[in-house]
Structures are given as structure tokens and as C-alpha cells.
Amino acid sequence: MNTNTRGHLSVALRNVAIGLAALLAACTATPGTGTGGDSTGNTTGIKDKSIVVGISSPESGPGAIAAGYTYGFKTYLDYRSQGTGINGYKFQSVIVDNLGNAAGGAQSMQQLLARTPFMVLITGSSSIQGAAPVISSQGNGVVVLGLGNADILQASGLPNTYGFFPHYTQECYFMADFAIKTLKAKSLALVYEDSATGQGAAITCPTYSLTHGGAAFKNFPFPPPAVSTNYTSLVASIKDTSPEACMFMGSAAEIASVKKAADAVGVTCKWIGFSPLFDPTYIDLAGASAEGTYFDAFVEPVGSDSDATKLLKTEMQKSAPTHINQFGAFGWSFAAVIADAVERATAGGKTLTRESFTSAMNSTKTTKQLGLLYSADYTGDRYTLTRSMTVYQVQGGKFVKVLDTTSIPQP
């Protein structure tokens, strides 16, 4: 190696060393606490009475229809943050796309936790599952809200976690009871999307039905919509077994397509959809086929003319007009429960902490209307706020109540 080469080498090494030192300095200078503001004690995620709410939302992919929950939720929080807010507290929402899957749930949760939120909302059962390990290891007591199957939320084992929808296994029992007792059906079919939506119910519902008055029960799974859109084989199989009642767990688009295909081949069962399907979108999509379909429900239909729905439509028209549907209404109603808990926790000028908030949430048991909810109850089971449901039927293109509020069977 000649002198010139050694000189160049030393220059290069020196430059690399300087660069390395600079990068290391930059790395070590990076704060590890995110941008959430006050991170001391149990007021983490609140700064100047601004409550940071991280939202992991399916903004893209086949599950993006559920983004309606997010915008209903955010719109209600924004509505309550107007003026002086709730006892001086306001909400600041942060939304990150979770792609509607487990990997996206994990990545989005990493991003949200870096902002040190007070609470996080996760939409979609798969994303809840993906986010759970991240929250377990790095959540530091963050309050978790889940818009998905309560069974999945419960299985996650996360602390400080609150759900909205029923346990889908128990909801299947409710539908089966309705079919057997009210519709007098003896042979039942569960038609379900073979995903986190219906898989659990398909395991437990047959036994329940057969031990509670049902004479026959058969499962009819179908693949998620990204895989197949041809439901002829499915409905032909249903027709062969001639069930009297067909319980459906899937999306509004799926039930519309399945129902149309079923009508075309002459399936004669009475159809019952589970609560997330309770949406005017179904009536639009299925058209005449929707007539006569039953839906269990724990919220007021968004198409009704009450003050509560008028308020929802007025506020959502301002910021999320494409989400004025039942998905938006679910999110809106869940946010109303959250706001109610914040209001109770901060009554009389008390400081909002994670403890005071979770205490207020845990004591939630009310029949006053929150959003479009008929009632809310977190006592005993915080993974769902629903202990009872009612049933609507599509009659003349509208949802008409056909069953009074009835308790959801417990396992």
C-alpha cells in the first residue's frame, strides 16, 4: 500500500468514523417517549386537558368498510370537544391505517403508542389480535377500546379493555333462541364468513341450539370476499338441507349477495342477520330480496327519525358524510359511552386519570340513551356493553321492531 493510498484510506475511515459518531449521537438524542405530552403518573396521554385518542382503523383493503366505525367515533368526540368540551376536557384523535389484518394491527399500534395516547381504539377482530401483543408489552396501561367480536377481545387478555359488540358466540345463541321460540323453526343453519367473524360461533352454536329446542343444525361457511364471490354452490347446499331458519354472520355485502343467490335458487328459510349487519346498506344492496329479513340489534336504526339520529346525521354531514350509516352509528354510540365516562370521571372539577376513567367505565350501567344505544352495561363483562337485544325485520324497505328487548343467553 503506497503513501497515497494510505492517505485516502485514512481520510475515508475518518469520514466514516465522523458519520458514525454523528448518527449514534442522533440516535441517542431521539426521545423514547413519543409526543403525547405529560407522561407522568396516570394522566399519561392528557396534555392541557386534551385527551389523545389513538385509532387503529381499517382504511384500506377488503375490511375497509369498517372504517365507518372510526369516523362515527371521531365525529362524536369532535362534537363533544366543541366549545369548552366535557368539563374542560377535549379529545384529539389520531388515525392510523391497520389494513384490517393482524400485521397491520401490530404496526399501527406501534405508531399509535409512540404518541403516548390516553386510550386506543382498534377496529376489526384481526387487527385487535395483532395489536394485543404490542399493547401487552408496550401499552403501559393504556386504555383499550375494541370494535370487534367480544370473544376475540376477551381472548386477548388485555387489561383496561372495553368492547362494544356482543360475544358473537352468545349472539348466535340469541339468534337461535329467536328462531326456535319466536319463528318456531326446528332446523337451523348458520351461514357464516369463515373468518374471525363466524368461526367461533360455528363451534359453539350447534350444541346450544340442539340442546335448546332445535332438531337439526348445519354450518355453511363461505370464504372471505377477497377469495370468492360465487355463492351459488353455497345456496344450493343450503337448499338441499331445507333449513327453516338461516342465521347469517358476515358483511352486508355478503348477505346481500347470498340472499339474492338464495332467492334465485329457491331457498325458503327465514333469514336472521347478526347485529353488525343491522344497516340500511343491506336494504339498498339486496333490494327486494331484503324483504322479510330479521336482524338482531342493540342500537336504534340510523334510518329512524328520532332526535338522536338527527343529531348524528347533522354532525356527520359536516365531517364524514360518506359514513352516515349504521357503521358510523356504532362508532358514534361507542364514543358516546366514552364521553359519558369522561363526564362522570371529571364531574365537580376532578382530574381525569386512567384510574378515574376506568372506574367510571367499569361502573357504566344505564338505560339512558347514549348515542343510538338503548342501554349500556360494563358491570360484570367489560368486553361487551350489551346484555340484551331486540329484533327488527325489513318490512316495506324499512326496519320494523318485531321483538321486545330480550336478554342475551349466557353460556
In the structure grid, which three cell numbers stand for residue 38, read together?
405529560
Q: Judged by CB, which is closer to another protein: 273, or 376?
A: 273
Residue written as grid cell 365516562: 341
Q: At closest approach, how far in Å is the CB of 164 from another protein?
A: 19
Q: Judged by CB, which is closer to another protein: 67, or 345?
A: 67
Q: At closest approach, how far in Å is the CB of 225 from another protein?
A: 7
Q: Judged by CB, which is closer to another protein: 62, or 303?
A: 62
* CA 225/CA 62 separation, integer angstroms: 8
Backbone phi, psi, residue 194, to 5°: -80, 75
In the structure grid, which three cell numbers stand for residue 182, read together?
319466536
245: closest CA among 275, 268, 222, 213?
A: 268
Q: Judged by CB, which is closer to another protein: 88, or 223?
A: 223
Q: At closest approach, how far in Å is the CB of 219 from another protein?
A: 11
Q: Judged by CB, which is closer to another protein: 322, or 407?
A: 322
Q: At closest approach, how far in Å is the CB of 58 from another protein?
A: 8
| Neighbour tally for 365: CB within 10 Å | 13
* CA 286/CA 288 separation, integer angstroms: 6
Q: Judged by CB, which is closer to another protein: 55, or 297?
A: 55
User: Are the CB atoms for 141 and 116 separated by under 8 Å?
Assistant: no
Q: At closest approach, how far in Å is the CB of 378 from another protein?
A: 25
What Rg do the C-alpha atoms of the chain give, in angstroms? Answer: 25
Strands 245-249 and 376-377: unpaired
* CA 379/CA 395 separation, integer angstroms: 35
In the structure grid, which three cell numbers stand for residue 279, read together?
344497516
Q: At closest approach, how far in Å is the CB of 379 from another protein?
A: 28
